[in-house]
């Protein structure tokens, strides 16, 4: 009868401790809900902040603006080349004869204007402009690829932080459970119901739980540091994000079809092939006749003894027909450019295959992670049931304390696995959207205005002069944006 009383008392103690642990967990959950409700940061907020902050994007935009200037440089071939020159000097001229010698001194000075206007360059300028414009469009695809990578980095950083936050909470709850279990075992040991071995096992598992919590907190700090590096500010009250299923194609076939057409690396290769084709025609133009118009005006004062002033004015049209240019170098350049064009054609197929591979890999990972999430959820349900059953069986002597601790550890591991899988689903879904070429702030709805490289291109492509890269009001070029429709 006394032994029965002791068992009932220990069960009541364990029940009380369990209720206290449950109350603590509920308090943590309520506190978390309150903190999330106060100025929560969503994934779209993070993507918008990254788009505004990223120095990587700013550098890529500046690089693209530099590429825009290649079009202006090519267009300069249509325009005249004008020069002004001036000279001043002192001249002494000596004369010597059999009977006498002498010298004269004068101060020649003057100025001149020269202008050369190309009339026909064998279509070199036209093809140079076409090549530069194709390269410029290819550069925009490189910029788009950079934007996709920056946004994907932000999604990854966001998912890592939310995952590690959840894992920290799980480990905190696990430590509370182990604290309660250790206290219960110590109480039972005090009345002789369990052995010192049971208490030691609880102490060892509690120490392991503390170690896991410390590691989880360290991982969270690391994730927060990477988040701040990518986004530009520390994470604050991040809420769990759902995968962007709206942009995910409905089938793998649809995804591959879109990716092989819209992935930036494919479009970049298409424009690069155009540039290489125009480059062949540009070099071939050196073998065609060249025509230009030259104008000159010069005014010289005191050019020589007895002449006070002399002026010269001329307009000359000239045609040059190359017969054997540069010892045949031009022929070699044309052949070289043709080989480069063939390489560019093959590169299109290379990039299409690469885009298809990226899509298939991202799709496969997404499908696999979704299936894994269902398994993780089933594992949590099963491990929860198992833990409850083991605890009841341990109370009536059919299970050991170690069985309870192992069941709790398995439940924790399944919960951690689910949080990791949810992060993987989020990243995989946005990786797939990136692989098909549709990861942008406008597509995901994270910005009301986006940077438009076309604005700067139109401003400089026909610009005749000026070296300033700011607007008249001091506004920087990188502030050129276009509202999202």
Q: What is the mean pLDDT of residues 123-149?
A: 96
Q: Tell me what pLDDT residue 349 has.
A: 96
Q: Report whether 62 contacts 242 (CB < 8 A).
A: no
Residues 6+ apart with CB under 8 A from 399: 390, 393
Distance CA 89, CA 203 (A): 100
As a three-state string, the secondary structure of the chain is CHHHHHHHHHHHHHHHHHHHHHHHHHHHHHHHHHHHHCCCECHHHHHHHHHHHCHHHHHHHHHHHHHHHHHHHHHHHHCCEEEEEEEECCEEEEEECCCCEEEEEECCEEEEEEEEEEEECCCHHHHHHHHHHHHHHHHHHHHHHHHHHHHHHHHHHHHHHHHHHHHHHHHHHHHHHHHHHHHHHHHHHHCCCCCHHHHHHHHHHHHHHHHHHHHHHHHHHHHHHHHHHHHCCCCCCECCCCCCCCCCCCCHHHHHHHHHHHCHHHHHHHHHHHHHHHHHHHHHHHHCCEEEEEEEEEEEEEEECCEEEEEEEEEEEEEECCCCHHHHHHHHHHHHHHHHHHHHHHHHHHHHHHHHHHHHHHHHHHHHHHHHHHHHHHHHHHHHHHHHHHHHHHHCCCCCHHHHHHHHHHHHHHHHHHHHHHHHHHHHHHHHHHHCCCCCHHHHCCCCEEECHHHHHHHHCCCCCCCCCECCCCCEHHHCEEECC
User: Taking Cα atoms as reference points, which of 67, 164, 194 lies closest to residue 456?
Assistant: 67
Give backbone dihedrals phi and psi of 240, rounded to 5 degrees, phi first: -65, 130
| Length, in residues, of the chain | 485
Among positive and negative, which fits the CA dihedral 289, 84, 465, 315?
Answer: negative
| Lowest pLDDT segment from 201-210, 295-304, 313-322, 423-432 | 295-304
Q: Confidence band (pLDDT; 50, 70, 90) for 14?
A: very low
Of 429 and 325, the one with more pLDDT: 429
pLDDT at 12 over 80: no
| Lowest pLDDT segment from 85-99, 408-422, 467-481 | 467-481
Q: Tell me what pLDDT residue 65 has.
A: 94
User: Taking Cα atoms as reference points, which of 133, 192, 146 lies closest to residue 454?
Assistant: 133
pLDDT at 128 over 90: yes
Q: Confidence band (pLDDT; 50, 70, 90) for 385?
A: very high
pLDDT digits (tens, 9 = 90+) for 140-193: 999 999 999 999 999 999 999 999 999 999 999 999 999 998 998 898 889 888
Q: Report whether 246 contacts 325 (CB < 8 A).
A: no
Q: Report whether 416 contacts 170 (CB < 8 A).
A: yes
Provide the percentage of residues in the chain whose pLDDT is more than 70.
Answer: 87
Q: Tell me what pLDDT residue 357 has.
A: 96
Residue 343 CA, chain-centre distance (Å), reads 27
CB atoms within 10 A of CB 222: 13
Q: What is the mean pLDDT of residues 73-101?
A: 84
Of 38 and 345, the one with more pLDDT: 345
Burial per residue of 430-450, b for 16 or more beta-carbon CB atoms within 10 angstroms, e otherwise? bbbbbbbbbbbbbebebbeee
CA angle 373–378–379, rounded 5-degree value: 95
Please, what is the angle between helix 401-435 and helix 196-231, to 10°? Answer: 20
| Lowest pLDDT segment from 7-16, 382-391, 440-449 | 7-16
pLDDT digits (tens, 9 = 90+) for 106-115: 788 899 999 9
Q: Report whether 77 contacts 127 (CB < 8 A).
A: no
Q: Tell me what pLDDT residue 379 has.
A: 95
Mean pLDDT is highest, among 38-52, 86-100, 248-262, for: 248-262
Q: Tell me what pLDDT residue 305 has.
A: 67
Distance CA 137, CA 148 (A): 17
Q: Tell me what pLDDT residue 483 has.
A: 61
Write the burial class of residue 42 (CB in 10 Å: 0-12 exposed, 13-18 middle, 19+ buried).
middle
Of 396 and 50, the one with more pLDDT: 50
pLDDT at 296 over 60: yes
Q: What is the mean pLDDT of residues 332-336?
A: 95
Q: Tell me what pLDDT residue 20 has.
A: 38
Distance CA 477, CA 68 (A): 12
Distance CA 483, CA 485 (A): 6
Q: What is the mean pLDDT of residues 57-84?
A: 94
**1.10.3730.10, 3.40.718.10, 3.40.50.460, 1.20.1600.10: CATH of 2-483:** 1.20.1600.10
Calculate the CA dihedral of residues 168, 170, 173, 178 and round it to 10 degrees: -100
Cα Rg of the chain, angstroms = 39
Mean pLDDT is highest, among 44-58, 438-452, 458-472, for: 44-58
pLDDT digits (tens, 9 = 90+) for 202-245: 999 999 999 999 999 999 999 999 999 999 999 989 998 888 77
Distance CA 232, CA 471 (A): 27
Q: Tell me what pLDDT residue 27 has.
A: 37
Q: Report whether 40 contacts 237 (CB < 8 A).
A: yes
Q: Confidence band (pLDDT; 50, 70, 90) for 19?
A: very low
* Strand-pair partners of 315: 295
Q: What is the mean pLDDT of residues 26-34?
A: 38
Q: What is the mean pLDDT of residues 261-273?
A: 96
Provide the percentage of residues in the chain whose pLDDT is more than 90.
Answer: 67
């Amino acid at each position: 009868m006394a032994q029965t009383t002791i068992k009932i008392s220990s069960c009541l103690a364990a029940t009380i401790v369990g209720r206290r642990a449950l109350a603590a967990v509920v308090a943590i959950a309520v506190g978390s809900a309150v903190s999330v409700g106060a100025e929560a940061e969503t994934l779209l907020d993070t993507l918008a902040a990254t788009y505004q902050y990223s120095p990587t994007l700013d550098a890529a935009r500046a690089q693209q603006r530099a590429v825009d200037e290649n079009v202006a440089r090519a267009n300069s071939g249509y325009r005249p080349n004008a020069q002004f020159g001036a000279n001043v000097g002192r001249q002494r001229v000596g004369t010597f004869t059999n009977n006498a010698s002498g010298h004269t001194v004068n101060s020649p000075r003057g100025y001149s204007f020269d202008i050369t206007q190309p009339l026909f360059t064998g279509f070199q300028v036209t093809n140079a402009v076409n090549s530069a414009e194709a390269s410029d469009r290819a550069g925009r695809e490189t910029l788009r690829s950079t934007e996709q990578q920056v946004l994907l980095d932000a999604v990854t950083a966001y998912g890592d932080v939310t995952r590690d936050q959840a894992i920290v909470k799980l480990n905190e709850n696990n430590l509370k459970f182990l604290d309660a279990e250790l206290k219960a075992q110590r109480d039972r040991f005090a009345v002789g119901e369990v052995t010192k071995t049971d208490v030691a096992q609880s102490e060892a598992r509690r120490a392991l739980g503390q170690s896991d919590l410390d590691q989880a907190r360290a991982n969270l700090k690391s994730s927060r540091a990477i988040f701040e590096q990518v986004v530009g500010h520390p994470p604050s009250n991040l809420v769990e994000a759902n995968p962007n299923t709206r942009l995910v194609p409905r089938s793998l076939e649809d995804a591959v079809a879109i990716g092989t057409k819209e992935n930036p690396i494919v479009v970049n290769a298409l424009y690069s092939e155009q540039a290489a084709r125009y480059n062949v025609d540009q070099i071939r133009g050196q073998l065609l006749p060249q025509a230009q118009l030259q104008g000159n005006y010069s005014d010289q004062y005191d050019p020589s003894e007895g002449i006070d002033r002399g002026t010269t004015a001329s307009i000359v049209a000239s045609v040059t027909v190359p017969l054997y240019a540069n010892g045949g170098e031009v022929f070699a350049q044309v052949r070289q450019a043709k080989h480069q064009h063939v390489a560019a054609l093959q590169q299109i197929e290379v990039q299409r295959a690469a885009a298809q591979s990226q899509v298939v890999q991202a799709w496969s990972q997404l499908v696999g992670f979704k299936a894994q999430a269902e398994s993780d959820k089933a594992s949590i349900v099963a491990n929860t049931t198992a833990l409850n059953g083991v605890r009841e069986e341990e109370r009536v002597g059919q299970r050991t304390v170690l069985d309870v601790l192992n069941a709790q550890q398995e439940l924790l591991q399944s919960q951690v696995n689910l949080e990791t899988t949810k992060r993987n689903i989020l990243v995989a879904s946005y990786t797939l959207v990136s692989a098909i070429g549709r990861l942008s702030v406008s597509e995901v709805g994270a910005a009301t205005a986006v940077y438009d490289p076309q604005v700067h291109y139109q401003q400089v492509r026909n610009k005749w002069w000026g070296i300033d890269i700011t607007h008249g009001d001091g506004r920087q070029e990188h502030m050129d944006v276009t509202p999202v429709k």
